[in-house]
Chain A
Amino acid sequence: MLAQVLFSGLALGSIYGLVALGFTVVFKATEVFNFAQGMLAVCGAYFAVTAISVFHWPFGVAIVFMAVAAAVLGVLIHILLIQPLAGRSMLAVIMVTIALSIVLRAVIEILYGPQGRSLVTPLPSGVITLGGLRISELHLTAALVSWACMALFAAFFRFTSVGLLMRATADGHEAAVASGVNVNAMNRLAWAIGSLLAAIGGLFLGQLQIVSTDLESIGLLALPAVVIGGLQSIPGAIVGGLLVGLIEQLSASYISPKSTDIVIYALLLLILLVRPWGLFGQRELGRV
C-alpha cells in the first residue's frame, strides 16, 4: 500500500516538477509570478486534443504541433502582456497573468465546450505488476519523460551558449545588456520554454485524467511547489514538485481525499513563516 502510494506520488510529483520548472525559468528571467501556469498546462493538453482528435494527425506530428504552439503562445504572452507592464507594480503583473488565465479558460470553453474531452494517444497504458506493486505504464512514462525533459533543459542551461546567455540575463539584466545580450530575446525564449514545459505536463495530466479546464487547479499545484522548493532555484522547483506529489498522494490515502489542498497549503504557510526563501532558495537581503 505504502509503496503504491509512494510510486504514484513520485510519478505525479515528476509532472508537477516539470510544470514548476517551467514556472521557475520564467520567474528567474522576468520576475513574473505566473498564475497562468496552470492554464498553460491546460492549453498544452488542448493543443494535443486539437491535433489528435480534430485534425487526426499522427502522434509524432501532434507532439511537434503542441510544442510549437505552446512555445508561440509563451512568446506572444511575453510580447503582448509582460513587456508593456515592465517596471510596473507586482499586483499589476500578477493580475495580468490571472486575467490571462480567465481569458484562456473562456476561449477554450467557447471553442471546445465546458465538458471534458478524452485524449487518446499511443502511449502505453497497461499495468505492470512488480512484486506486489502495480505500476501503471502511463504514470511510469510520464515520470520518465518528465525526468528526460528536466535533464535536457538542465544540460541546455549548463552547456550551450544560449543557456549561458539566459543564465547571465537571469542574474542581472543591466550586466547582460552591457555585455551585449539581447535581453528581450532571452526573456521570450524563457517564456517559450516555460510554456512548453507546462504543455508537456498538461499532456500527461490530460492523459491521466480527462482533458478539461479543471486541470488548471492541478497545474496550479506548481505554485506551492516552487515556493516550498525556493522561488529562484531550479533544483528547488523539481524537489518541490516531487514533495507536493508525494504529500498529495499520502494525504489522499491516509487522511482523506478532501484534505490534500489543506495539507499542501499548510506546509506552504509553515515554510513561509519559518524559511520564506524555501528549501533551496537563497536568502534575499533587504537593501535600502
Chain B
Amino acid sequence: MVDALYSKPRIAAPPAPARNRLWRLLGWALALAFLVYLPNVLAHRAAFGVRLTNTELLNLGLTQINLMLIAMLGALSLNYLTGCAGLISIGHAAFYATGAMTAAIVGTQWGWPFPLALAAAAVTGALAGVVAGLPSLRVRGLYFVLSTLAVHHVIVFVFLEYQFRFFDVVGVPFEAPLLGSYELNTPTRWYFFLLPLVAVVYWALRNSLNTREGRAMRAMRDHELAAAAAGVNVRILRLKAFAFSSAIASMAGALLAYFMSNVTSEAFGLDFAIQFIAMIIIGGLGSLGGSLVGAAIWLLLPSILSGLAPQGGDASGWMGALLVDHKPQLVQAIFGLLIILLLIFAPGGVAGLGQKLKALFSSRGAR
C-alpha cells in the first residue's frame, strides 16, 4: 500500500529533462515552420506544389490572418487588464480610436515615419489609459465598468469631431507604411511584420506577469484588501495596468488604421469593444494564450462558415438558405450562443477546457 503510494507519485515527477527539451524544441521548430510557410500557402493557394481549393483552405485569406493578428493584440491587452488585473473595461474600442487618431495626426497630417507614429500611438494610448483609469481611484466594480463606457463615448465623439474637422465622411486616409526601405504594401509583408510583433507583445506580457508587480497585480485581482494589506499600492498599480494595456490597444488601433488605409469613427463603436470581451471570454479569462485562440476564433469563424455556404446551398435545405441570405446574422447568433454556452458550462473558456483535458489525460497516465 505504502509502496504503491510512493512508487506512483500523485504530482508528476520532473521527467527526463534532455529528451523533453528536445521534443519541445522540435515542436517549436515545427510551429515556426508552419507559420513561416502559411502565407505562401494562402497567397498561392497551393501547398508543396499541390493546388488546394478554397474549401480545403477553409476559405481563409491572408488578409483575415493579418486582421486576426491585429485583433490578437487587442485581445491580449484586454485580457491583461480584465483577466490578470481584474479591471473590466467595455471601452477598449476607445483606445483603438486613440491610436488611429494619433496615427492620423502624426502620420497622415505631419508626415512622421511609420515606426514613430506607432510609438506616438502607444504613448498617447498610455496617457488616455491613465485618464480612463482615473475613475478607478474613486469607484469600483459596476460603477467603474460604466465609467469606461462613458469614456468610450467621449473618446469616440472626439474622433468623430476630429474626422469631420480635418477630413470628411469618407474617413481618414493612411499611406502605405514604410519600415526603412521595406514598404508594407502586400499582405505577406504585413504578415511578417505583424507576426513577430504579436509574439513580442505576448512574450512581454507573459514575462511582466511573473515580475514582482505582475504578481502584485494578480493578488489585487483576487483580493484587493489582502493585496493592499500586504503592501501593494493598489491605486498606482491599477493605473499602471491601465496604461500598459491601453498603450498596446492604441498601437493595435494605429496598425489597424494603416492596414485598412482608411478609417472612420463608426469603426470604433460599442460592438467593436464588445468583440474583445467576447474574444477573451471564448479564449479564457486570465489566460494570455487563450486570448490568441479567442481572437482567432472570432476573426476566422465567419469566413470558415461562409466557406461552408455553397455546400449548404447544394443540400438545398433551409440551413443552406439561411447561410446564403442571412450570413452575418447567423454568424452573430452563433457567436452569441457560443458565448452563452461557454459562460454557463465552461467558465474557463477554451483555455479552461484545454486544462481540463490535460488534467484528464495526465491523471489517466498517473493511475
A binding-site residues for B, Cβ under 8 Å: 33, 81, 84-85, 88, 90-92, 94-96, 98-100, 102-103, 105-107, 109-110, 114, 223-224, 227, 231, 258-259, 261-262, 265-266, 268-269, 272-273, 276, 288
Check A85 against B139 for contact (C-beta < 8 Å). no
Check B88 against A91 for contact (C-beta < 8 Å). yes
Instruction: Kindly list chain A residues whose C-beta atoms are within 8 Å of the C-beta of B141.
Output: 90
What string of 1s and 0s marks CB contacts (under 8 Å) between B303-335 and chain A?
Answer: 000000000000000000010001001101101
Q: A95-B278, A269-B154 are in contact. List 15 more A-B contacts (CB 8 A).
A: A33-B142, A88-B343, A90-B145, A91-B82, A99-B336, A102-B335, A103-B333, A106-B336, A110-B333, A227-B146, A265-B149, A268-B149, A269-B151, A272-B138, A272-B143
**Minimal Cβ-Cβ distance residue in A for B341:** A99
Instruction: Kindly list chain B residues whose C-beta atoms are within 8 Å of the C-beta of A103.
Output: 332-333, 336-337, 340
With known contacts A99-B343, A272-B139, A261–B336 Cβ distance under 8 A: no
- Shortest B53–chain A CB gap in Å is 29
Instruction: Kindly list chain B residues whose C-beta atoms are within 8 Å of the C-beta of A266.
Output: 150, 154
Max count, chain A CB within 10 A of own CB: residue among B139, B145, B147, B347 = B147
Check A84 against B344 for contact (C-beta < 8 Å). yes
Compute how far the CA of A99 lies from the CA of B332 in the bound complex, rounded to whole angstroms: 9
Say whether B113 faces chain A, with CB atoms less than 8 Å apart: no
Say whether B277 faces chain A, with CB atoms less than 8 Å apart: yes
What secondary structure prevails in chain A residues at the interface with B?
helix
Compute how far the CA of A103 lies from the CA of B333 in the bound complex, rounded to whole angstroms: 5
6 pairs of A and B residues whose beta carbons are closest in the complex = A103-B336, A106-B333, A102-B336, A265-B153, A99-B339, A269-B150
Compute how far the CA of A102 lies from the CA of B322 in the bound complex, rounded to whole angstroms: 17
With known contacts A90-B141, A91-B88, A276-B143, A265–B150 Cβ distance under 8 A: yes
Compute how far the CA of A269 lies from the CA of B151 in the bound complex, rounded to whole angstroms: 8
Our count of residue pairs bridging A and B at CB distance below 8 angstroms stands at: 115
- Shortest A228–chain B CB gap in Å is 10
**Minimal Cβ-Cβ distance residue in A for B332:** A106
Instruction: Kindly list chain A residues whose C-beta atoms are within 8 Å of the C-beta of B82.
Output: 91
Instruction: Kindly list chain B residues whose C-beta atoms are within 8 Å of the C-beta of A273.
Output: 135, 138-139, 147
Compute how far the CA of A265 lies from the CA of B340 in the bound complex, rounded to whole angstroms: 28
Say whether B197 faces chain A, with CB atoms less than 8 Å apart: no
Instruction: Kindly list chain A residues whose C-beta atoms are within 8 Å of the C-beta of B333.
Output: 102-103, 106-107, 110
Compute how far the CA of A31 lies from the CA of B177 in the bound complex, rounded to whole angstroms: 49
Check A110 against B88 for contact (C-beta < 8 Å). no
Interface size on B, residues (CB 8 A): 38
Check B153 against A262 for contact (C-beta < 8 Å). yes
Residue B343 contacts which of A95, A106, A110, A259 (CB distance < 8 angstroms)?
Answer: A95
B binding-site residues for A, Cβ under 8 Å: 82, 88, 135, 138-139, 141-143, 145-147, 149-151, 153-154, 157, 160, 225, 274, 277-278, 281, 285, 322, 326, 329-330, 332-333, 335-337, 339-340, 343-344, 347
With known contacts A94-B88, A100-B340, A102-B335, A272–B281 Cβ distance under 8 A: no
With known contacts A91-B88, A106-B330, A273-B135, A96–B153 Cβ distance under 8 A: no
Max count, chain A CB within 10 A of own CB: residue among B141, B146, B151 = B146
With known contacts A94-B145, A223-B146, A100–B336 Cβ distance under 8 A: yes
Compute how far the CA of A227 lies from the CA of B135 in the bound complex, rounded to whole angstroms: 15
**Minimal Cβ-Cβ distance residue in A for B88:** A91
- Shortest B250–chain A CB gap in Å is 20
Check B88 against A90 for contact (C-beta < 8 Å). yes
Instruction: Kindly list chain B residues whose C-beta atoms are within 8 Å of the C-beta of A105.
Output: 329, 332
Check B336 against A276 for contact (C-beta < 8 Å). no
Instruction: Kindly list chain A residues whose C-beta atoms are within 8 Å of the C-beta of B347.
Output: 88, 92
Compute how far the CA of A273 lies from the CA of B138 in the bound complex, rounded to whole angstroms: 7
Compute how far the CA of A92 lies from the CA of B145 in the bound complex, rounded to whole angstroms: 13
Instruction: Kindly list chain B residues whose C-beta atoms are within 8 Å of the C-beta of A81.
Output: 340, 344
Compute how far the CA of A88 lies from the CA of B285 in the bound complex, rounded to whole angstroms: 13
Compute how far the CA of A268 lies from the CA of B322 in the bound complex, rounded to whole angstroms: 41
The 26 listed contacts between A and B (C-beta, < 8 Å) are A90-B88, A90-B142, A91-B281, A94-B88, A95-B339, A95-B343, A99-B278, A99-B343, A100-B336, A100-B340, A102-B335, A102-B339, A105-B329, A106-B329, A106-B332, A106-B336, A110-B330, A223-B149, A224-B150, A227-B143, A258-B160, A266-B154, A268-B147, A272-B150, A273-B135, A273-B138
Instruction: Kindly list chain B residues whose C-beta atoms are within 8 Å of the C-beta of A265.
Output: 149-150, 153-154
Compute how far the CA of A145 lies from the CA of B150 in the bound complex, rounded to whole angstroms: 31
Max count, chain B CB within 10 A of own CB: residue among A81, A98, A114 = A98
Instruction: Kindly list chain A residues whose C-beta atoms are within 8 Å of the C-beta of B329.
Output: 105-107, 109-110, 114
**Minimal Cβ-Cβ distance residue in A for B337:** A103
- Shortest A76–chain B CB gap in Å is 13
Check B322 against A110 for contact (C-beta < 8 Å). yes
Instruction: Kindly list chain B residues whose C-beta atoms are within 8 Å of the C-beta of A114.
Output: 329
**Minimal Cβ-Cβ distance residue in B for A256:** B161
Compute how far the CA of A33 lies from the CA of B340 in the bound complex, rounded to whole angstroms: 16
Instruction: Kindly list chain B residues whose C-beta atoms are within 8 Å of the C-beta of A88.
Output: 343, 347
Instruction: Kindly list chain B residues whose C-beta atoms are within 8 Å of the C-beta of A262.
Output: 153-154, 157
